[in-house]
């Protein structure tokens, strides 16, 4: 009896439909259909998971000379851990899908954060630009603020659009899963292959944030205030904000990609500690965003310097993360 026939027989013996089995194994119904029609074979991780679900050994599933009646179905722990908590078994296909998804949405999140930083440009340049065009019937500052709010709204839409992706991989945040045989090594190999690109993003991101200071220094080198120098100062400040936005984009995208590997391969202790890390992470960046807009809108002329909050927050984030990890680390 071949594997496909055994899967059909064992599924019907348990009274499950293809959808029921697919839901328990966290695969699509089409995958179950292909296995049962012998159009494809499940990987080793899925075979081990099926043996636990059906209560038979892997030998019974894999060996054509053994019938499913060779071993009576016995009670199974359904991949339970020693503590009795049900454990999800993650295969290579599912782990790869998670990493690909994190890499995909990291660009949107990074672009949204960079867009929030760039929102300072129209506020700074709005009035000089409108005046330079000779338009006197419109308040340039109001136009700049309106454009900034539109940019922030676009960033918020980008953040909300990833909610469905987050729900699909909720199991990573909740923990209580195990990587299947060979998955840990495959994930580590992929990380080592992509690590040079992440290191370059880190270096360039930091350099962009540092280079933004050169634009600000350029404003101090300008001679006494004149209309032309005012325009140059605005241009230099806008250049500084744009440079910071580039750096923030690289740092955020790199951080999300590397965090995906850390989340997927963390051990049980790290899974329990991640709740504290996520809470601190959310609060930290929310406070940074509130400070940025609060200072920018409430303090006159602050848009030219409030962008400094982001490079400072990015640098301080490393220290905050280290403190959180030290607090969450179990005592020996």
pLDDT of residue 274: 60
Closest CA to 50 of 42, 182, 71: 42
| Rama region for 134: left / alpha / beta (φ>0; ψ in -120 to 50; rest) | left
Tokens of 71: 């071993």
User: Each residue of 123-134: pLDDT tens digit?
Assistant: 888 777 666 666
**DSSP code string of 46-110:** HHHHHHHHHT--HHHHH-TTS-GGGS------SSB-TTS-B-EEE-HHHHHHHHHHHHHHHHHHH
The domain covering 3-63 belongs, at the CATH homologous superfamily level, to: lambda repressor-like DNA-binding domains (1.10.260.40)
pLDDT of residue 81: 46
pTM of this structure: 0.58
- Secondary structure (DSSP) of 124-187: HHHHHHHHHTT--SS-HHHHHHHHHHHHHHHHHHHHHHTHHHHHHTHHHHH--EEE-TTHHHHH
Question: So what's the pLDDT on residue 78?
Answer: 41
Residues pairing with 98 in the sheet: none
Predicted pLDDT of residue 1: 67
Q: Which residue in 53, 91, 56 sits closest to 72, CA to CA?
A: 56
Tokens 């400040």 belong to residue: 237
Neighbours of 190 (CB within 10 A): 14
| pLDDT of res. 12 | 84
Q: Using CA atoms, how far apart are residues 211 and 198, in angstroms rounded to an integer?
A: 20
pLDDT of residue 229: 56
- Could you give the CA distance from residue 117 to residue 129 in angstroms, rounded to a whole number? 19
Token pair for 123: 């506020």
pLDDT at 79: 46
Low-confidence spans in the chain with pLDDT less than 50: 70-85, 268-269, 330-332
Which pLDDT does position 158 carry in this prediction? 82
Q: Give residue limits of the domains in the chain.
A: 3-63, 88-328
């Amino acid at each position: 009896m071949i594997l496909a026939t055994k899967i059909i027989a064992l599924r019907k013996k348990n009274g499950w439909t293809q959808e029921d089995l697919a839901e328990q194994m966290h695969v699509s119904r089409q995958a179950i259909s292909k296995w049962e029609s012998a159009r494809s074979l499940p990987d080793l991780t899925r075979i081990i998971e099926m043996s636990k679900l059906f209560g038979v050994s892997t030998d019974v599933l894999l060996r054509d000379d053994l019938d499913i009646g060779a071993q009576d179905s016995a009670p199974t722990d359904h991949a339970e851990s020693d503590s009795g908590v049900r454990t999800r078994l993650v295969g290579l296909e599912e782990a790869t899908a998670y990493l690909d998804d994190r890499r995909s949405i990291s660009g949107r999140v990074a672009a949204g954060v960079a867009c929030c930083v760039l929102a300072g440009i129209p506020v700074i340049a709005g009035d000089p630009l409108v005046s330079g065009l000779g338009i006197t019937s419109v308040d340039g500052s109001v136009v700049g603020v309106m454009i900034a709010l539109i940019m922030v709204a676009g960033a918020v839409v980008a953040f909300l659009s990833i909610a469905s992706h987050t729900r699909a991989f909720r199991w990573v945040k909740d923990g209580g899963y195990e990587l299947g045989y060979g998955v840990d090594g495959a994930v580590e190999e992929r990380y080592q292959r992509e690590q040079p690109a992440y290191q370059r993003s880190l270096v360039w991101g930091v350099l962009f944030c540092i280079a933004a200071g050169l634009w600000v220094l350029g404003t101090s080198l300008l001679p006494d205030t004149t209309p032309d120098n005012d325009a140059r100062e605005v241009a230099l400040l806008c250049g500084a904000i744009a440079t910071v936005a580039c750096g923030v984009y690289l740092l955020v995208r790199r951080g999300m990609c590397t965090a995906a590997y850390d989340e997927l391969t963390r051990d049980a202790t790290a899974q329990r500690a991640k709740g504290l890390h996520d809470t601190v992470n959310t609060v930290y960046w929310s406070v940074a965003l509130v400070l940025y807009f609060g200072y920018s809108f409430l303090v006159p002329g602050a848009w030219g310097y409030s962008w400094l909050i982001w490079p400072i927050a990015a640098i301080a984030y490393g220290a905050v993360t280290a403190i959180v990890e030290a607090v969450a680390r179990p005592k020996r």
